[in-house]
């Protein structure tokens, strides 16, 4: 298992277009595994194989989200940051709901 000391949520997100999403994940105990301008991955401490991913392409934003009670993940694309961020946030709250 990876140590919490290896990751820091205090490191600013490189792509400011997803700063609100970064706050949402951080407030719920998740951290950035990848923090590049065009590729961001969030995982929960101790569960690093469970990840939400955001990847910027030249014309779209691709996201991969976890599905609650499933071993599968779902991938889709959006035309802009706002739509992608909103979608990931909604799926994240669904995933962590008790």
pLDDT at 39 (0 to 100):
98
Are the C-beta atoms of 13 and 40 separated by less than 8 Å? yes
Q: Which residue is associated with the tokens 């105990």?
A: 29
Q: Which residues are CB-contacts of 56 (< 8 A; sequence separation ≥ 6)?
A: 15, 37, 38, 39, 62
| Whole-number pLDDT of residue 9 | 56
CA angle 75, 79, 85 (to 5 degrees): 65
Strand ranges, E, within 1-98: 30-36, 39-44, 47-56, 61-66, 73-78
Task: With 0.75 as the threshold, say if the pTM is over it.
Answer: yes
pLDDT of residue 52: 98
3-class DSSP assignment, residue 80: coil
Which positions of the chain have pLDDT values less than 70?
A: 1-9, 98
pLDDT at 65: 98
Which pLDDT belongs to residue 2? 43
pLDDT at 13: 96
Q: How far apart, in whole angstroms, are the C-alpha atoms of residue 78 and residue 85?
A: 9
């Amino acid at each position: 298992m990876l140590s919490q000391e290896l990751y820091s949520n205090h490191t600013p997100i490189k792509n400011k277009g997803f700063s609100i999403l970064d706050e949402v994940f951080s407030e719920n105990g998740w951290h950035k595994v990848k923090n590049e301008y065009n590729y961001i991955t969030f995982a929960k401490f101790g569960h690093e194989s469970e990840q939400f991913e955001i990847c910027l392409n030249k014309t779209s934003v691709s996201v991969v989200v976890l599905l609650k009670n499933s071993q599968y993940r779902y991938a889709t694309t959006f035309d802009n940051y706002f739509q992608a961020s909103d979608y990931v946030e909604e799926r994240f709250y669904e995933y962590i709901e008790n």
